[in-house]
Amino acid sequence: MTGGMTDNVILVGFMGAGKSSVGRILATRLGRCFVETDEMITAKEGRPIPEIFAEQGEARFRALEDEAVRLLALKRGDVIATGGGLPCRDGRLEALRAIGTVVWLSGDFATLYERALRGGDRPMLHGKTREQAEALYEARKSFYSRADLAVDTTTLNPDQVAARVAAALAERQRQAV
Ligand code: S3P
């Protein structure tokens, strides 16, 4: 994938990386549609994600993510924000790269963890100590790091991150022609 206008832009990263807020800003900037895998799942199931986790467990949620990834193959030119755990399975990152340019919104653990605790109900943090959450972050990094591009969000706000992503995509596009 080369980053052309029909290419999707897929944001991955740990909880608190800002995938949704950056994705929305980026989509507006690029004049693209914005899609969120968590939203696809919520809309299909008719209930919020914490409820899916509470009633049917993580395995059910991951199966719903599988289905969402299959549907993503139909998208063209969209900006797609993924759930934090979605790319963290063997072959998943590669499957995402086959349908677009994958951008890792990275950051140091302390910053992402603080943001994740501040905003929204995140079942993957329920009942976990800070050390356990950090272990999850460490385990996931090897998946995220297979992305096409990475932007460190640690000291940036969502507008700044979106600007960096747009610049990195434009540079990639220039190199491809
Ligand atoms: C998850 C992250 C959430 C959501 C679900 C599971 C995870 O999305 O998909 O609660 O496993 O990290 P965010 O990354 O947007 O918080």
Q: What is the pLDDT of residues 55-87, one digit of tens each?
A: 999 999 999 999 999 999 999 999 999 999 999
pTM of the complete model: 0.96
Going from the Cα of 124 to the center of ligand 1, the distance in angstroms, rounded, reads 7
Residue among 10, 11, 38, 143 to mutate when testing ligand 1 (max atoms within 8 A of CB): 38
Centroid of ligand 1 to alpha carbon of 57 (angstroms)? 13
Residue 150 to residue 80: CA distance in whole angstroms: 15
- Tell me the CA–centroid distance for residue 14 and ligand 1, in Å: 8
Let me know: does 54 contact 43? Beta carbons within 8 Å. Answer: no
Q: Decide: 52 and 59 in contact? Cβ < 8 Å.
A: no
13-30 tens-digit pLDDT: 999 999 999 999 999 999
